[in-house]
Amino acid sequence: MKKTALIMAGGRGERFWPKSRKSLPKQFLSLTDDGRTMIQLTVERIRPLVEIEDIYISTNRDYKELVLEQLPDILPQNILCEPVGRNTAPCIGLGAMHIAKKYEDALMMVLPSDHLIKYQKMYLHALKEGFRIAEKGRNLVTIGIMPDYPETGYGYIRFRPEETDGGAYAVEGFVEKPDIQTAREYLQTEEYLWNSGMFIWKVSSILQNIKELLPDMYGGLSTIGEEIGTEKQEMTLEKVFPQLESVSIDYGIMEKAKDIYIIPGVFGWDDVGSWLAVERIQKSNESGNVVKGNIITIHSKNNIIQGGQKLIAAVGLENLVIVDTDDATLICDKDSTADIKMVLENLKICNREEYL
Amino acid sequence: MKKTALIMAGGRGERFWPKSRKSLPKQFLSLTDDGRTMIQLTVERIRPLVEIEDIYISTNRDYKELVLEQLPDILPQNILCEPVGRNTAPCIGLGAMHIAKKYEDALMMVLPSDHLIKYQKMYLHALKEGFRIAEKGRNLVTIGIMPDYPETGYGYIRFRPEETDGGAYAVEGFVEKPDIQTAREYLQTEEYLWNSGMFIWKVSSILQNIKELLPDMYGGLSTIGEEIGTEKQEMTLEKVFPQLESVSIDYGIMEKAKDIYIIPGVFGWDDVGSWLAVERIQKSNESGNVVKGNIITIHSKNNIIQGGQKLIAAVGLENLVIVDTDDATLICDKDSTADIKMVLENLKICNREEYL
């Protein structure tokens, strides 16, 4: 069966401010040493499994030009621009409709555009296993990540350790972000994995699930689907898509669907969730500083410094994140990266759109 | 007797990097809220006592244009450009020669160009008292500052508390920068004041002292003095000045001279010796941050942030000095400001002259 992929690239990535902006979110940035952007790496990573003409990019229309520029090999008609953001269920449904239009049925991977993978071959192995399971029936397959610690910022997936099929386990259920105590308990049971937001299924399987669990959405998606390839395609999308319920695929489908499998992903996954991730991705020097750009450090240790052309002199500093861009500089204690959103709130309140 | 002033403006001010540069030292910067530079404030401050045509600026030739630009009312022939820096004794001697050429004898103040004074009227009162004493004889007068704490970065002057003349005390002796234990002892005696580097005397008094205590220097200065106003002025200065001994007025004259008076200066003096001075000069907000420019602070306190056009977002920071300029940004722990010189050393070693 034909293998296809939908890469979701509509996110705003506020946690990487000031490098990420409304006009240039995280997935379009390079945070690794090699210069390729997150979305470019995402596409390259799956190329051994999926033909370029079968890769779809779902994004906000504001980012269409960025996608065309960074991924010139993607077919322009495969760049699916949502008129408004409606969370992941409508986004995935729209992708499924496009693929169904082209191939009737096909295998479909759904992937975030802003995660990093360390071990490429192991990653492909997991995806192949996902395709194998998905092709067998109406099931839905997800990739789960082995938790390193009781993270409260991710959803968790409970599986049945005794019920296996090759590299996959049957899923008992999806659960939302837990509190720290609950997260600790999850880890102790040894029956929970992190929800990575990566899914594999047949187009027919996901559409059937949407039809049963989100019938109104299915109706809207069908209306849009009928006009794909016609003159009315854009107009219909414009009219119908905004009316779709804004709901995540996790809440709308995965928490309610039956016959779900999970493949434990062991391939060095990183969701690059904040500036602190840079420490995991890039090499630190002997003082524990991760520096990029034109930097002088004096008696400074364990800092993340992302500079540009401008010289940055760090003297007597410890545990800071310093990010310089052409029009804004962030200096943030490592323990306060969650407060970066307060800077953005402040900018919004003050109508300083140019910095958002 | 005619009152004149020599303002010394040849310093490099490395401690205010990155705002101060070789090409724009501290005395040419504005560190206060009102926008006037240190040297402009210095000139304005003494205008009630000295005519503009009697104010001399001693500087390095590299800064002649800056002086002309910032002090357009100063007579161009009163800008005395040293071919090379030779410390304060030759600098003051050259100034004295120029004044002697014009007036034969006159009262002469010598002032640094990069200090701040809070109470203007009290300052003028001290200077007037200095002129009064200086006019009486061959004595040398200095302004001493009441020590707040046992500073080890200044020279100290011991006076005789029982030997007074109006607001002045007879000086027992000049001493160089003490260690902390000695500085503490000085404070306990209640007989020491800080050496502010401000002096008042008759031109004839200082020249007579130079003649007696630094006879070679006096010879060189006389040669230069003879040609002032002639075609050979520049050539002679160029030839003779570099041969003068490089010695401070404190070591060369004040530590050895007799008949010295000190006037305790009580007028809110600040030598603005490092970025930490900005806290004393500018108002802090309720979080203890002293901010200037385009700044957002979130959960940050007791920082000094000097920005420019670029937005600086400070998140979770404490006790830092942040200074942004067009081509360099300094981020420095308040306890490490003395290490800023290591940044400059590093830049010198790497031949990155553009940042010096």
pLDDT digits (tens, 9 = 90+) for B270-292: 998 899 999 888 888 999 999 99
Mean pLDDT of A173-186: 95
Q: Do A329 and B312 touch (CB under 8 A)?
A: yes
CA atoms of B206 and B211, how far apart (whole Å):
9
Buried b (16+ CB within 10 A) or exposed e, A289-309: bbbbebbbbbbbbebbbbbee
- By Cβ distance, the residue of B313, B322, B339 closest to A316 is B339
Searching chain B, which residue's CA lies closest to the CA of residue A320?
B317
Do B280 and B294 touch, CB atoms closer than 8 A? no
- By Cβ distance, the residue of A311, A336, A346 closest to B355 is A311
pLDDT digits (tens, 9 = 90+) for A71-128: 999 999 999 999 999 999 999 999 999 999 999 999 999 999 999 998 999 999 999 9
* A–B CB contacts, 8 A cutoff, strictly below: 118
Query: Using 50, 70 and 90 to split pLDDT, how confident is the model at A34?
Result: confident
The radius of gyration of chain A from alpha carbons, rounded to an integer in Å, stands at 21
Asked which of A29-43, A169-183, B250-264 is least confident by mean pLDDT, the reply is A29-43
pLDDT digits (tens, 9 = 90+) for B154-193: 999 999 999 999 889 999 999 999 999 999 999 999 999 9
pLDDT over 80 at B152, yes or no: yes
CA-based end-to-end distance of chain A: 43
Do B304 and B279 touch, CB atoms closer than 8 A? yes
DSSP single-letter state for residue A325 = -
Do A158 and A191 touch, CB atoms closer than 8 A? yes
What burial class does residue A170 get, using C-beta atoms within 10 Å of its C-beta: 0-12 exposed, 13-18 middle, 19+ buried? middle
Interface of B with A (CB under 8 A): 17-18, 296, 298-299, 310-318, 320, 322, 324, 326-333, 335-337, 339-340, 342-343, 346-347, 352, 355
Mean pLDDT of B4-12: 93
Do A322 and B331 touch, CB atoms closer than 8 A? yes
pLDDT over 80 at B33, yes or no: no
Verify cis geometry, omega within 30 degrees of 0, for the bond prior to A112: no
Measured between beta carbons, the chain B residues lying within 8 angstroms of A320 are 317, 331
pLDDT over 80 at B217, yes or no: yes
What is the structure's pLDDT at A266?
87
Query: Using 50, 70 and 90 to split pLDDT, how confident is the model at B254?
Result: very high
Measured between beta carbons, the chain A residues lying within 8 angstroms of B310 are 326-329
pLDDT digits (tens, 9 = 90+) for B110-122: 999 999 998 999 9
Q: Do A310 and B322 touch (CB under 8 A)?
A: no
Q: Do A315 and B340 touch (CB under 8 A)?
A: yes
pLDDT over 80 at A321, yes or no: yes
Q: Do B314 and A331 touch (CB under 8 A)?
A: yes
Beta-carbon count within 10 A of A33 CB = 10
Q: Do B343 and A296 touch (CB under 8 A)?
A: yes
- By Cβ distance, the residue of A324, A333, A335 closest to B329 is A324
DSSP secondary structure letters along A163-215: EEETTEEEEEEEE-PPPHHHHHHHHHHT-EEEEEEEEEEEHHHHHHHHHHH-H
Between strands B328-333 and B320-324, the pairing is antiparallel
Query: Using 50, 70 and 90 to split pLDDT, how confident is the model at A57?
Result: very high
Q: Which residues contact A352 (CB under 8 A, 6 or more apart)?
A: B311
pLDDT over 80 at A13, yes or no: no
Query: Using 50, 70 and 90 to split pLDDT, how confident is the model at A35?
Result: confident
Per the listing, tokens 């995935």 go with: A92
What is the structure's pLDDT at B309?
84
Measured between beta carbons, the chain B residues lying within 8 angstroms of A312 are 328-329, 331
Measured between beta carbons, the chain A residues lying within 8 angstroms of B337 are 315
What is the structure's pLDDT at B214?
98
Beta-carbon count within 10 A of A351 CB = 8
pLDDT over 80 at A33, yes or no: no
- By Cβ distance, the residue of A313, A333, A343 closest to B313 is A343
pLDDT digits (tens, 9 = 90+) for A228-261: 999 999 999 999 999 999 999 999 999 999 999 9
CA atoms of A49 and A300, how far apart (whole Å):
45
pLDDT digits (tens, 9 = 90+) for B304-314: 999 988 999 99
Nearest CA to B298 among A319, A275, A344?
A344
Q: What is the mean pLDDT of chain A?
A: 95
Searching chain B, which residue's CA lies closest to the CA of residue A17?
B313
Q: Do B329 and A328 touch (CB under 8 A)?
A: no
Q: Do B315 and A343 touch (CB under 8 A)?
A: yes
The ipTM is: 0.82
pLDDT digits (tens, 9 = 90+) for A134-152: 999 999 999 999 998 999 9
pLDDT over 90 at B5, yes or no: yes
For helices A203-213 and A88-103, give the axis angle rounded to 10 degrees.
130
CA atoms of B306 and B301, how far apart (whole Å):
14
What is the structure's pLDDT at B32?
81
**If DSSP codes are grouped into helix, strand and coil, which group holds residue A71?**
coil
CA distance, residue B319 to nearest chain A CA (Å): 10
CA distance, residue B294 to nearest chain A CA (Å): 9
Measured between beta carbons, the chain A residues lying within 8 angstroms of B347 are 296
Q: Do A311 and B18 touch (CB under 8 A)?
A: yes
Q: What is the mean pLDDT of chain B?
A: 95
Measured between beta carbons, the chain A residues lying within 8 angstroms of B329 are 310-313, 324, 329
Mean pLDDT of A22-28: 93
Measured between beta carbons, the chain A residues lying within 8 angstroms of B299 are 336, 339, 342
Q: Select the residue from B15, B16, B289, B296 to test the A interface by mutation, using most A Cβ atoms within 10 A.
A: B296
- By Cβ distance, the residue of A316, A347, A352 closest to B336 is A316
Q: Which residues contact A259 (CB under 8 A, 6 or more apart)?
A: A137, A138, A139, A140
* High-pLDDT (> 90) share of chain B, %: 88
pLDDT digits (tens, 9 = 90+) for B318-355: 999 999 999 999 999 999 999 999 999 999 999 998 99
Nearest CA to A71 among A48, A35, A43, A99?
A43
Do A156 and A193 touch, CB atoms closer than 8 A? yes
Q: Select the residue from A299, A329, A349 to test the B interface by mutation, using most B Cβ atoms within 10 A.
A: A329
CA distance, residue B297 to nearest chain A CA (Å): 8
Helix (H) or strand (E) holding B222: helix B215-227
Mean pLDDT of A318-332: 96
Measured between beta carbons, the chain B residues lying within 8 angstroms of A339 are 298-299, 315-316
CA atoms of A5 and B206, how far apart (whole Å):
88
Nearest CA to A205 among A86, A78, A98, A108?
A108
Query: Which residue type occupies B176?
Result: E
Mean pLDDT of B246-275: 94
CA atoms of B297 and B318, how far apart (whole Å):
11
Measured between beta carbons, the chain B residues lying within 8 angstroms of A14 are none
Per the listing, tokens 């002892």 go with: B185
* High-pLDDT (> 70) share of chain A, %: 100
Measured between beta carbons, the chain A residues lying within 8 angstroms of B318 are 333
Predicted TM-score (pTM) of this structure: 0.84
Measured between beta carbons, the chain B residues lying within 8 angstroms of A328 are 310-313
